[in-house]
């Protein structure tokens, strides 16, 4: 069943980023695995989702609506349940799940990091399914990153392992110098060497930054 699930996700340009035992607080009793789902790297997911009905209908929150339709459909096919960051309260603890999976780690700038997606890692949702979903073991890319360019990439030093200075970030985005961040995405995330394997289109980063900076 697990290979079929992975293939079903790939057909929507999605990947299984991590898998861990089902959380009984949020998952159905029959669930055995909780799989964290994110977009494929490169151009494929963005090009796919921007051709979807949700993107083209002009209604609010097209990416969330697309994610719910797709992941609800995949969950129904495999006898599971889709979970989303916006569910709640109580809200599903995606950050906690990510760290517990052993496939994501807290980076030197506080954000999650993934061996393949780097600091570009993001979740479209999760699937609680009634079977095991083993994934290849990975290692924290920060352990072998000597320069750690993410630490110095932010122009206003808004990021640290313990604090995210949201006000400083937003204030900088309001300046002419902040236009690069708005059009290309967070410089710290882009500076991560592991992120290069998961590079986004500029249009994708610009869209997400526009939603963040509203």
Helix (H, G, I), strand (E, B), or coil: what is residue 96?
helix
Rounded Cα–Cα distance for residues 136 and 151 (Å): 28
> Mind listing the pLDDT tens digit of every residue in the chain (214 residues)?
899 999 999 999 999 999 999 999 999 999 999 999 999 988 999 999 999 999 999 999 999 999 999 999 999 999 999 999 999 999 999 999 999 999 999 999 999 999 999 999 999 999 999 999 999 999 999 999 999 999 999 999 999 888 899 999 999 999 999 999 999 999 999 999 999 888 788 889 889 998 887 7
Helix (H, G, I), strand (E, B), or coil: what is residue 81?
strand
* DSSP per position, 138-184: ---GGGG-SS-THHHHSTT--B-SS-B-HHHHHHHHTSGGGHHHHHH
Exposure of 86 in the CB half-sphere (CA atoms within 13 A):
7
- In which domain, by residue range, is 141 found? 2-212
- Indicate the pTM of the whole model: 0.94
Q: What are phi and psi of 147, to 5 degrees?
A: -80, -30
Q: Give how many domains the chain has, as a whole number.
A: 1
Q: Which two tokens stand for residue 178?
A: 């902040």
């Amino acid at each position: 069943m697990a290979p079929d699930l992975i293939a079903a996700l790939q057909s929507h340009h999605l990947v299984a980023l991590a898998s861990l035992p089902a959380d009984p607080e949020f998952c159905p009793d029959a669930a055995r695995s909780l799989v964290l789902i994110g977009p494929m790297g490169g151009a494929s997911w963005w090009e796919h989702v921007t051709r979807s009905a949700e993107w083209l209908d002009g209604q609010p929150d097209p990416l969330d609506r697309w994610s719910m339709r797709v992941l609800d459909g995949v969950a129904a096919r495999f006898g599971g349940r889709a979970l989303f960051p916006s569910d709640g309260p109580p809200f599903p603890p995606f950050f906690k799940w990510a760290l517990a999976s052993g496939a994501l780690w807290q980076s030197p700038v506080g954000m999650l990091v993934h061996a393949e997606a780097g600091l570009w890692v993001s979740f479209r949702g999760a699937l609680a399914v009634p079977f095991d979903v083993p994934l290849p073991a990975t290692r924290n890319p920060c352990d072998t990153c000597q320069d750690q360019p993410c630490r110095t990439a932010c122009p206003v030093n808004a990021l640290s392992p313990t604090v995210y200075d949201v006000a400083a970030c937003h204030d900088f985005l309001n300046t002419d110098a902040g236009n690069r961040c708005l059009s290309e995405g967070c410089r710290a995330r882009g500076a991560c060497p592991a992120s290069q394997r998961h590079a986004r289109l500029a249009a994708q980063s610009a869209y997400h930054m526009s939603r963040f900076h509203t």
